[in-house]
Amino acid sequence: MGKPDATDGVLRALAEPRRRTILRLVAHTEMSAGEIAAAFEISRTAVSQHLTVLKSVGLLTERREGTRRIYRARSQGLAGLREFLDEMWGDALDTARQLVEAERGLSDTDERVRRAG
């Protein structure tokens, strides 16, 4: 599984709704910081702070084009989180399967007792 600290950082970053919105905005296209800021009714400074957080946990790439900073989502930044969720989901499915099998075992035993009785 990915490094726990990295996954924790991604989860903390994604806990903020505006950051998730930013990722959606730049998921398939590059946008400048100004274009991203224009999508929100908060200060450019606040948007810049959100961009910094997303970049620091590896969810955004940044490149310079003259004086502009251009951002794009970095899907690889979600790899550790995907691993974490896949592992949890796999464990949950295994537990559910065991519960169903245990229930079937009880039901089969109950049925045999009823038939014998």
Model confidence pLDDT, tens digit, residues 67-96: 999 999 998 888 888 888 888 777 767 787
- Supply the range of the domain harboring residue 70: 1-117
Q: How many domains does the chain have?
A: 1
Range 108-112 average pLDDT: 56
CATH number at residue 85: 1.10.10.10
> Residue 117: which pLDDT band, with cuts at 50, 70 and 90?
low
pTM over 0.85: no
Buried b (16+ CB within 10 A) or exposed e, 85-94: eeeeeeeeee
**Range list of H helices, 1-117:** 4-14, 17-25, 33-38, 44-56, 79-116
b/e string for 65-74 if b means 16 or more Cβ within 10 A? eeeebbbbbb
Q: For 18-63, what is each residue's pLDDT tens digit?
A: 999 999 999 999 999 999 999 999 999 999 999 999 999 999 999 9
